[in-house]
């Protein structure tokens, strides 16, 4: 059968538009892939946190009310609207949780800014005065937005609670369903030394890097971040300390690291560096009255809570299960489990008592939490040592476990002055993994002494630990339930 050229030509004419469209689509995909490959941005994720993202929002809302009572807010609609619009444009490019970001200006000529968990961000008028361009102002806002996105405030609070808070008070924090109570016990009201604003140099580097990425993605010149830091560093050399560095500790090679991220992103790609509206706002702000003399109130809450009346009932013989992101554990059905994030307290009714200083303290029950040993990167250290989930650890891993447990015990003793080690370092198993069993004696919040049974095992994100606690006179009555709870643990791999 002979081919019919006219049919071939006709088919080609019908297919040509489709072919051109397919080629165009493929070309677009190739270009997009090439652009993505050229973008070698640093990947960043939030660290361990015992708060949920919703609790971040609740914490931020509560602490922001305290902050705005203490700070001289500018309360100028024109300036606030401009900064809020700029901030929302940047926040739209922030990764992770979509928090209800809001931005306000403080009537303070010091160069400073701060962010609270869950979205409230405050910019001193001094930042706007100091910035040479809208991109530099955007750089400061992007840096603070990154602190929120990376959950640095509640991450700091979580790490502080893991070992720096007395054990009994830690149990009260984890056992509280009230964000207000958690904040009060962590010292989380607004203050210069608030745990929510004590960032590490590592957190500052992360905020610099993610802030640079947010600038780039929002169409601003990402080099402006480093330019602003360079400007205020020069100012600090010439006229004394800049307030920004008092609660934003400056990492080594800060400007170089920002510029390195700019290069990884592919450069500035003709990004905008200034805007007419920025100049108008800056001139308008300079015409406004300066901050009034204020007597800033110190934050604090001395309200106490009544103590529990009687010791709790004995543990029931019937057990129920509870889950969190790390594990499943069973507990007596007349006990209650409370938790935030990966941490929890499991206690009988009356197991949490008032200590007379406004704290809820754990006298009977169990604490489950994560401790981050001192290391450049705990996960990298485990990976480098060959740690594999679900496998029994070798002798080197047991050595790491002992070392990490030593660190935890040392931290616990710093915040529990009456604590001493009774029996240390017995090897046991928890759901097939190697663990260490350590017995401690401590002052009980109910008076007298308590026994604390500490069980530790390694996980990729830190040292998982359990503390089973009861007054010495009662510990034997509870010990059987504690062992049954530990046997019930199933680690999520």
Q: Alpha carbon of 467 to those of 162, 409, 475: distances in Å?
A: 12, 11, 13
Rg, C-alpha atoms of the chain:
28
Q: Is the pLDDT score of 309 beyond 90?
A: no
CATH of the domain at 342: 3.40.1000.10
185 and 169 Cβ atoms separated by less than 8 Å: yes
* Residue 152: both structure tokens together: 């640095």
Same domain, 354 and 264: no
Residue 49 pLDDT > 90, yes or no?
Answer: no
Q: How confident is the model at residue 12 (pLDDT cuts 50, 70, 90)?
A: very low
Residue 165 and residue 270 in one domain:
yes
**105 lies in the same domain as 184:** yes
Residue 138's pLDDT is 97
Residues 190 and 135 in one domain: yes
Per-residue pLDDT at 81: 96
Q: Same domain for 332 and 245? A: no
Same domain membership, residue 328 and residue 267: no
Q: Is the pLDDT of residue 294 over 50?
A: no
Q: Which two tokens stand for residue 3?
A: 């081919």
Q: Mean pLDDT score of the chain, rounded to an integer?
A: 80
| Residues 352/175, Cβ–Cβ less than 8 Å | yes
- Residue 19, pLDDT > 80, answer no
pLDDT of 102 higher than 90: yes
Our measurement of the distance from residue 58's CA atom to the centroid of its chain's CA atoms, rounded to an integer in Å, reads 14
Question: Would you say residue 22 has pLDDT above 60?
Answer: no
Contact between 105 and 124 (Cβ < 8 Å) = yes
Question: Taking the complete model, does pTM exceed 0.85, yes or no?
Answer: no
How far is residue 39 from each of residues 34, 70, 203, 262, 461, measured CA to CA in Å? Answer: 9, 43, 23, 10, 28
Same domain, 244 and 324: no
Range of the domain at 84: 53-287
CA 313-452-333 angle, 5° bins? 30
Instruction: Judge if 217 and 324 occupy the same domain.
Output: no
Confidence tier at 56 by pLDDT (50, 70, 90):
very high
20 lies in a domain? no
190-194, 257-261, 397-401, 455-459: least confident range: 190-194
Give the chain's domain count: 2
One domain for residues 335 and 279:
no
CA distance 16 to 321: 64
Q: Show the tokens assigned to 156.
A: 């700091």
More reliable by pLDDT, 3 or 404: 404
Tell me, yes or no, whether 223 and 273 share the same domain. yes
* Predicted local distance difference test score (pLDDT) of residue 137: 97
Task: Examine the pLDDT at 34 and tell me if it is beyond 70.
Answer: no
DSSP 405-467: HHHHHHHHHHH-TT-EEEEEEEEEEETTEEEEEEEEEEE-TTSSEEEEEEEEEEETTEEEEEE
Q: What is the pLDDT of residues 241-282, one digit of tens each?
A: 667 766 676 777 899 999 999 999 988 777 766 678 999 999
pLDDT above 50 for 163: yes
Same-domain pairing of 266 and 355: no
What are 400-417's pLDDT values in tens digits? 899 999 999 998 988 898
When mean pLDDT is compared across 81-85, 132-136, 173-177, the lowest value belongs to: 173-177
Instruction: Report how far apart, in Å, the C-alpha atoms of 163 and of each of 58, 170, 430, 484 are.
Output: 24, 8, 22, 25
Interatomic CA distance for residues 114 and 67, integer angstroms: 11
DSSP state letters, 188-253 = -SS-TT-GGG---HHHHHHHHHHHHHHHHHTTB-TTHHHHHHHHHHHHHHHH---THHHHSPPPTT
Of 287, 308, 342, the last residue of a domain is 287
């Amino acid at each position: 059968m002979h081919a019919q050229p006219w049919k071939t030509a006709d088919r080609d004419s019908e297919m040509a538009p489709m072919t051109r469209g397919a080629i165009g689509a493929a070309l677009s995909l190739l270009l997009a892939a090439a652009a993505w490959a050229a973008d070698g941005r640093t990947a960043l994720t939030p660290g361990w946190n015992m708060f949920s993202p919703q609790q971040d929002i609740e914490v931020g809302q509560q602490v922001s009310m305290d902050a705005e009572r203490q700070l001289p807010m500018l309360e100028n609609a024109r300036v606030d609207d401009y900064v809020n619009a700029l901030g929302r444009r940047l926040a739209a490019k922030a990764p992770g949780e979509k928090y209800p970001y809001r931005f306000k200006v403080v009537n303070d000529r010091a160069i400073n800014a701060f962010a609270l968990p869950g979205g409230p961000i405050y910019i001193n008028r001094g930042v706007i005065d100091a910035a040479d361009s809208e991109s530099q102002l955007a750089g400061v806002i992007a840096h603070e937005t990154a602190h929120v996105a990376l959950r640095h405030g509640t991450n700091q609070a979580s790490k502080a609670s893991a070992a720096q808070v007395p054990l009994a008070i830690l149990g009260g924090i984890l056992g509280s369903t009230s964000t207000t109570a958690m904040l009060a016990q962590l010292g989380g009201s607004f203050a210069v030394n608030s745990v929510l604003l004590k960032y590490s140099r590592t957190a500052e580097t992360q905020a610099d890097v993610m802030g640079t990425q947010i600038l780039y993605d929002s169409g601003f010149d990402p080099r402006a971040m480093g330019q602003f830091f360079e400007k205020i560093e020069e100012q600090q050399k010439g006229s004394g300390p800049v307030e920004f560095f008092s609660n934003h500790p400056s990492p080594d090679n800060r400007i170089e690291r920002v510029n390195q991220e700019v290069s990884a992103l592919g450069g500035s790609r003709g990004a905008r560096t200034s805007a007419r509206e920025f100049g108008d706002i800056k001139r308008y702000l300079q015409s406004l009255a300066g901050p009034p003399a204020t007597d800033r109130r110190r934050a604090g809450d001395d309200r106490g809570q009544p103590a529990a009346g009687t010791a709790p009932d004995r543990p029931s013989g019937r057990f129920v299960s509870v889950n969190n992101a790390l594990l499943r554990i069973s507990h007596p059905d007349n006990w209650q489990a409370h938790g935030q994030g990966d941490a929890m307290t499991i206690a009988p009714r009356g197991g949490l008592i008032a200590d007379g200083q406004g704290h809820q303290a754990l006298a009977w029950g169990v604490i489950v939490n994560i401790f981050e040993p001192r290391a450049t990167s705990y996960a990298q250290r485990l990976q480098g040592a060959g740690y594999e989930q679900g496998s029994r650890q070798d002798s080197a891993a047991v050595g790491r476990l002992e070392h990490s447990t030593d660190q935890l015990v040392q931290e616990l003793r710093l915040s529990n002055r009456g604590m001493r080690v009774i029996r240390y370092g017995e090897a046991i198993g928890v759901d097939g993994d190697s663990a260490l069993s350590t017995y401690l004696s401590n002052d009980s919040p109910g008076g007298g002494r308590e026994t604390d049974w500490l069980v530790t095992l390694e996980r990729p994100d830190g040292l998982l630990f359990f503390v089973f606690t009861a007054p010495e006179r009662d510990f034997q009555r509870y010990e059987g339930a504690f062992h049954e709870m530990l046997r019930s643990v199933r680690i999520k791999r």
